[in-house]
Structure 1
Amino acid sequence: MVEQEIERKIEDFRNLGIPKYIPRESRLQLVDNMVSTVIGARRVGKSFRVLQAADEMICHQVIKSIDQVCVMDFDNPVLSNMKATDLSLIQNTFLKLNPEFELNTPLLFILDEIHKVPGWEEYVVDLSRNPNWKVIVTGSSSKLLKYDIATELRGKAISSTVYPLSFVEFLKFREFRYKTSSTKGQAEARRMFDEYLKWGAYPAIVNLEEYTKEALLREYFDTMILKDIIQRYDVSKPQQCIHLYNYLLSNISKAHTLQSVFQYLKLGGFSTSRDAVRGYINWAEDSWLLFMVPIYSNSLKEQERNYKKIYAIDWALANKNSLIWDGSYSRALENMVFIHIYSRWHRVHYSLTRKKRQEVDFIAVDSNGHPVMALQVCIDISQEDTVKRELEAIVTTSKYFGIKENFIVTYNQEKDFYEQGISVKAIPAWKWMLNLA
């Protein structure tokens, strides 16, 4: 039965071919003799991005045709129940159906969600040992990150992450060619930005009707919770788990501690423990639903002692699955900025000034551990006291850490500030995101 399912998958892909796709900007790490792991949340476009890579390999004649591509999706009841010792059926069946292929024939194996099969790592390592074969593994668990799988894959893996659409990619999906040098072009870019802010960055919802978008955002949340958390971790109290995630999505960009989340559930009448709450939060992070952002500090104790700020993989997903929503997009804007920073630097923190404990929303940190950018997110800077507060925090922080790039990201206001020898640029979010690209 398993071999028949593998044959069916091979024939289906060959007959259907690579579906039409809109090219993504994200780069995949494809290195000879290494397993490429492509990770990210559900529905962010991992499968299409990998098929884009396959198409590009065919165009550049790394492989000659689609016949040399084997795609297996383990989000399938038959394949997900395979034993690790049976995984060799994949290449054996593929080679049997293609007797003209030899061991030196360039082939590409795409194994989607193979981590559902316990012990899969040894198989993909063996597969990648053939210098003519490339292996791409995709999954929606952050456990596929290089620092989690280095031991299991014996230093044979290199990771890439796919995120929801950047604003530049969103414009491409909307077939919008921006020319922000003109007043009309800027107005159109702002209109597109309003849509992006309201409905988020999932690729499949971009060109749908609004009522369908809302339904899909709820469906995405339900599927992520059910498959990536409740089923994966065999959660014993699913309603408690779901209620907590609804609560956390209602409070994106706000400060939380393990104790504050624990107290919320206790006050709500839920019987739980701090260890259970810690588990819920860890599972949400592992599944790319939530991000817990710590304070910037070289001391792990200080990071643990201070609160963390919470963000979602998609701000519209958070809004549509919140317990309450005040109708304001200020926190959605902050979440949007976070995702754009995180997708580029991967290490993002908030900061508190030493004396007054004033918060800077984001500190981007480079691969050497050095802070390179400070950002405040403020939807409206028309009030003098607001500007003063935001500037004081970012200038103090910038001077302390020696940061050269400092921004106040706004909804649609722009102004240059120079305080105490520090330059700070207030810039509309849509323009900042276009410049970031």
Structure 2
Amino acid sequence: MKIISRPYYLEFLIRHKDKPLIKVISGVRRAGKSVLFQLFREELLASGVEESRIITINFEDLSFYDLRDFRALNTYLEERLTSNDKHYIFLDEVQHVDKFELVADSLFIKENVDLYLTGSNAYFMSSQLATNLTGRYVQIEVLPLSFKEFLAGQEHDAETKTRLEYFNDYLFSGFPYLLQTQSYQERIEYLQGIYHSIVLNDVVARVGVANPDMLERIIRTLLSSIGSQVSTNKLRNTLVSQHVAISHHSLESYLNTLIDSLLFYAVPRFDVKGRKLLQRLEKYYTVDLGFRQLLLPDHPQDLGHMIENLVYLELRRRYSKVYVGNIGKYEVDFVVVTDQGAYEYYQVSQTTLDPKTLDRELRPLKAIKDQFPKYLLTLDSIQPTANYEGIIKQNLVDWLLE
């Protein structure tokens, strides 16, 4: 199987190597966390670290099932710390270990241990880890492939396939393994396996969802509502119109489990003028468009909302704070806050060649009176770039490859 380089994530691990912090890698299943560990272990070996000082456990491997008991895990690791030299410990899918944070805490205080963890849902981050190890860890989220990574992973001939054709392929899904597949059926079967793993292992088993069919109805509704403001009441009314009875409380619970499973992101609205978060009408984006391909195969192709989802994921890769913008009566697709406290604003449209569409997309950005950068991203190949009174129009594919 071809290994795809993930330089952004690898640089994170290299940057924090040997520092007195636990390195935490979160992300949806099959996004490439285990491969990232493999790439980093190769870096360690190449730098002269002895193989005996690298300890790796994947808790989804039944060979390590007995180590899901935190006491057994601690004993196993203690026995392998054979010298005062630095040992590099990789615990993959550590959410399977009850009270794993006690082991992590014990390892953290040892000077000869550099600890790396991965997990496939947000439960372990929001509860055990964040509560017990506050200030002792750094975290990065691994997403499915960016378009730049997707393109780099292709064994392509630029003369036979255009970059736009590759982008159309990328719209199907960004899961790394799909680069190894040949047929539509094979891709769908793989996505089905990921979906069932998430729903059964990270939602149903974890929180005891009583009605899996109800859960899938909610997932389908959210996938068909990408790019639209969603409230619990609005979503509940949609389900009721389909003759599905569900209480407000139960629906809230289902939504929270889907967010914690990392299948969806609930993106809050941000009041641009007041510089504050608003409490209602989030937008939901999925971690990978492949789930839309899987669950809504007969749904009309809404390219505008699909590329909006892609832009959200790319902004999430580049910035830690991404919101939906609100400026008076207008909506800005995305507002990002940089690590330096600056702002950037983004509008996304399939095309703005129609003057009316262009005017509609520029209007929210023009309503923002500060001097922070403002961008309009489209798929236009005719007039792909422009400058409208300081609002920069860019081709989306070019922007993804920056």
Q: Normalised by the size of structure 1, how large is the TM-score?
A: 0.83
| Range with greater deviation from structure 2 (225-234 or 425-434) | 425-434
Q: Which amino acid aligns with 2:59?
A: F
- In structure 2, the residue matched to 1:55 is 42
Q: Percent identity?
A: 22
Q: Which amino acid aligns with 2:246?
A: T
Q: Distance in 2 between matches of 1:242 and 1:394?
A: 37
Q: Is 1:303 aligned with 2:278?
A: yes
Q: Which residue, out of 380, 391, 415, partners 2:362? A: 391
Q: Which residue, out of 132, 136, 139, partners 2:116? A: 136
Q: Deviations over 1:31-84 (max 9, x none)?
A: 4222111110111000000111111111122x223x322111222566277332
Matches within 5 A, 1:97-112: 101-102=82-83, 104-112=84-92
Q: Which amino acid aligns with 1:285?
A: I
Matches within 5 A, 1:229-308: 229-297=203-271, 303-305=278-280, 307-308=281-282
Q: Is 1:75 aligned with 2:60?
A: yes
Gaps in structure 1 of 5+ consecutive residues? 1-18, 96-100, 179-183
- In structure 2, the residue matched to 1:126 is 106
- In structure 2, the residue matched to 1:113 is 93
Q: Distance in 2 between matches of 1:189 and 1:308?
A: 33
- In structure 2, the residue matched to 1:358 is 330
Q: Deviations over 1:328-365 (max 9, x none)?
A: 322211111110011111211122331xx222211111
The alignment covers a number of residue pairs equal to 394
Question: Do 1:84 and 1:117's aligned partners in 2 also have CA atoms closer than 8 Å?
Answer: yes
1:429 to partner: Cα distance:
1.6
Question: Do 1:44 and 1:202's aligned partners in 2 also have CA atoms closer than 8 Å?
Answer: yes
Question: Do 2:227 and 2:308's aligned partners in 1 also have CA atoms closer than 8 Å?
Answer: yes
Q: Is 1:375 aligned with 2:350?
A: no
- In structure 2, the residue matched to 1:7 is none
- In structure 2, the residue matched to 1:88 is 74
- In structure 2, the residue matched to 1:403 is 372
Distance 1:172 1:418, change over 3 A: closer
Distance 1:173 1:25, change over 3 A: same
Distance 1:276 1:81, change over 3 A: farther
- In structure 1, the residue matched to 2:149 is 169
Q: Distance in 1 between matches of 2:131 and 2:218?
A: 33
Question: Equivalent residue of 2:296, what SS?
Answer: coil
Q: Distance in 2 between matches of 1:370 and 1:211?
A: 45
Question: Equivalent residue of 2:55, what SS?
Answer: strand
Question: Equivalent residue of 2:269, what SS?
Answer: coil
Question: Do 1:24 and 1:169's aligned partners in 2 also have CA atoms closer than 8 Å?
Answer: yes
1:269 to partner: Cα distance:
2.8
Q: Which amino acid aligns with 1:386?
A: T
Question: Do 2:334 and 2:347's aligned partners in 1 also have CA atoms closer than 8 Å?
Answer: yes
Q: Deviations over 1:14-42 (max 9, x none)?
A: xxxxx862221223343422211111011
Distance 1:245 1:344, change over 3 A: same
Distance 1:148 1:87, change over 3 A: closer
Q: Distance in 2 between matches of 1:137 and 1:336?
A: 27
Q: Distance in 2 between matches of 1:301 and 1:24?
A: 34
| Range with greater deviation from structure 2 (70-79 or 295-304) | 295-304
Q: Distance in 1 between matches of 2:139 and 2:124?
A: 8
- In structure 1, the residue matched to 2:137 is 157
Question: Do 2:375 and 2:391's aligned partners in 1 also have CA atoms closer than 8 Å?
Answer: yes
Question: Equivalent residue of 1:194, what SS?
Answer: helix
Q: Distance in 2 between matches of 1:411 and 1:315?
A: 21
Distance 1:214 1:314, change over 3 A: same
1:146 to partner: Cα distance:
8.1
Q: Deviations over 1:91-114 (max 9, x none)?
A: 14535xxxxx32x13221111122
- In structure 1, the residue matched to 2:318 is 344
1:244 to partner: Cα distance:
0.8
Q: Distance in 1 between matches of 2:261 and 2:381?
A: 33
- In structure 2, the residue matched to 1:412 is 381
Q: Is 1:208 aligned with 2:181?
A: yes
Q: Distance in 1 between matches of 2:380 and 2:193?
A: 29
1:302 to partner: Cα distance:
6.0
Cα RMSD for the two superposed structures: 2.6
Q: Which residue, out of 393, 398, 401, partners 1:431? A: 398
Q: Is 1:218 aligned with 2:192?
A: yes
- In structure 2, the residue matched to 1:10 is none
Distance 1:234 1:412, change over 3 A: farther
- In structure 1, the residue matched to 2:50 is 64
Distance 1:407 1:396, change over 3 A: same
Q: Is 1:23 aligned with 2:5?
A: yes
Q: Distance in 2 between matches of 1:158 and 1:41?
A: 18
Question: Equivalent residue of 1:71, what SS?
Answer: strand
Q: Normalised by the size of structure 2, how large is the TM-score?
A: 0.90
Q: Which amino acid aligns with 1:54?
A: R
1:379 to partner: Cα distance:
0.9
1:396 to partner: Cα distance:
1.6
Q: Deviations over 1:376-427 (max 9, x none)?
A: 1111222110011111122223x2x4322423332534444444xx322322
Q: Distance in 2 between matches of 1:49 and 1:320?
A: 26
- In structure 2, the residue matched to 1:319 is 293
Q: Distance in 1 between matches of 2:157 and 2:327?
A: 41
